[in-house]
Amino acid sequence: MTVRMLSIETVVPETVIRQEDVTRLFAGQPGMTRLGSRLVRSAFDGAGVATRHTVLPELAEAAARASHAPNAGPEDDRERGQATLPRTPHGEPTGDDAAASPFVDPVTGHLLSPGTHARNQLYTQNARELFVAAGRAALSGVGPGITAADVTHVVTVSCTGFFAPGPDVRVTKDLGLPADVKRVHLGFMGCNAAFPALQTAATACRADPDAVVLVVCVELCTLHLHVRNDPDTVMGNALFADGAAAAVVTARDVAVPGAALELVDFETTLAPVGEDELAWSVGDEGFEMILGTYMPRIIDDHVTDALAPLLRRTGLSVADIPQWAVHPGGRSILDKVESRLGLSAEQMAPSRAVLRDAGNMSSATILFVLARLLQTGTPGHVAAMAFGPGLSIESALLRLLPAAQR
């Protein structure tokens, strides 16, 4: 039985933030020390990110203003980077800038730190739309061989917010899926959660060859940015972004417009160290991320052992696999994986391109990388991996089937 991803579609919010702008915004916040501001510039400049997307248009506006502020130089005093909004003669904000934002002070343009309730409200409003948009796009991308009425299972994924009835219900109702569709939501698992979602889909298809599974990942990471001087927070601010991705998985023998990805095998492991280096918890002012500086080194030490069972079962070696999809958790992580496994710059290019263009969108990110590989249509094996709290390493062996081999 061949289980395939017939389509992968990605969706991002309209608002784009440029890394150079948001660097100055965070470095110039009044709570930042000189050392903290220097850390911001170093981390942001070295993150490998050029642009990101956010559901917060006010964040992009504040970043753009900070970048063009006359006192936005790198070594000004505590007033540097305090971008101000256009004002009336009475000193009040003008136009759309007068609208209240829980994230940006309308008078000073400084970043605020809203409570978890306010952040989760924004998650609920925006995530609902993105879950449905990504799911609809994935179903449309399959072609006429699969319709909404054919979907038997829905698997939704997110770690950046909560609401109930949940995303699985929203997707089912808004896409007009059958009322008896089987639903699963994977919550709070982190950056590698797309792998258990795809494995759940593959298991359903192997149990029922007629099953059609819609997998949807949505993450709104920018809702949990904070202004702090500690390295973990700074690194998170430098990397995380918003995005959504969805895939249709089935064992049905249906024609699709383009290439497909066969789901061959999966593997998961917990590294013996690193539990404290990557963590995600609910705080009073949004979710709290621990992104330890030792995480790339831990991944470097354990990535080979993590892949060994998968390679052993399939009879392949690293050298036998021409295409790789590595979760771009940060440039240093990609550097370590590339070096340890002896991969080429070309093999790492799709992962680095997603990091550059869209940042780290947690669970959705690996689907962005796989979507790029799928668009190339280059046949052959694909190894995919991602890292999450635990420190957990999820991996999968896929096979890209060109359109002629559907």
User: pLDDT by residue (tens digit) across 322-342?
Assistant: 999 999 999 999 999 999 999
Q: Taking residues 18-41, report their average pLDDT.
A: 96
So where are the chain's domains? 260-405
pLDDT at 306 over 60: yes
**CA proximity to 192, closest of 357, 3, 390:** 390
Token duo for residue 137: 């796009």
pLDDT at 67 over 90: no
Look at the block and give the residue holding tokens 């809702």.
223
pLDDT at 374 over 80: yes
Predicted structure pTM score: 0.92
**Which residues in 308-372 belong to E strands, given as ranges?**
323-326
**CA proximity to 200, closest of 214, 180, 187, 188:** 214
Question: φ and ψ at 172, to 5 degrees?
Answer: -60, -45
Question: φ and ψ at 161, to 5 degrees?
Answer: 175, 175
Cis peptide before 400 (omega within 30 of 0): no
Q: What is the pLDDT of residue 380?
A: 96
Report how far apart, in Å, the C-alpha atoms of 125 and of each of 52, 81, 97, 170, 262 are: 20, 31, 21, 12, 34
Three-state DSSP class for residue 61: helix
Write the DSSP symbol of residue 257: S
* Average pLDDT score, the chain: 90
Given pLDDT bands bounded at 50, 70 and 90, which one contains residue 78?
very low
CB atoms within 10 A of CB 71: 13
Amino acid at 29: Q
Cis peptide before 144 (omega within 30 of 0): no
Q: Taking residues 241-259, report their average pLDDT.
A: 95
For 92-101, 205-214, 255-264, 332-341, which range has the lowest pLDDT when averaged over its residues?
92-101
State the DSSP H helix or E strand holding residue 30, giving kind and residue range, or none if neither: none
Q: What is the pLDDT of residue 70?
A: 58
Report how far apart, in Å, the C-alpha atoms of 370 and of each of 223, 259, 292, 349 are: 25, 12, 26, 12
Q: Taking residues 30-46, report their average pLDDT.
A: 95
State the DSSP H helix or E strand holding residue 261, giving kind and residue range, or none if neither: strand 260-270
Q: Taking residues 122-146, report their average pLDDT.
A: 97
The fourth-level CATH superfamily of domain 260-405 is Thiolase/Chalcone synthase (3.40.47.10)
pLDDT at 301 over 80: yes
Contact by Cβ (8 Å): 195, 395: yes
Residue pLDDT, tens place only, 226-236: 999 999 899 99
Residue pLDDT, tens place only, 145-200: 999 999 999 999 999 999 999 999 999 999 999 999 999 999 999 999 999 999 99
Residues 6+ apart with CB under 8 A from 327: 191, 192, 333, 351, 365, 366, 369, 385, 386, 387
Tell me, yes or no, if 191 is annotated catalytic: yes
Catalytic residue among 159, 191, 205, 217: 191
Report how far apart, in Å, the C-alpha atoms of 377 and of each of 176, 260, 372, 392, 405 are: 31, 8, 9, 30, 11
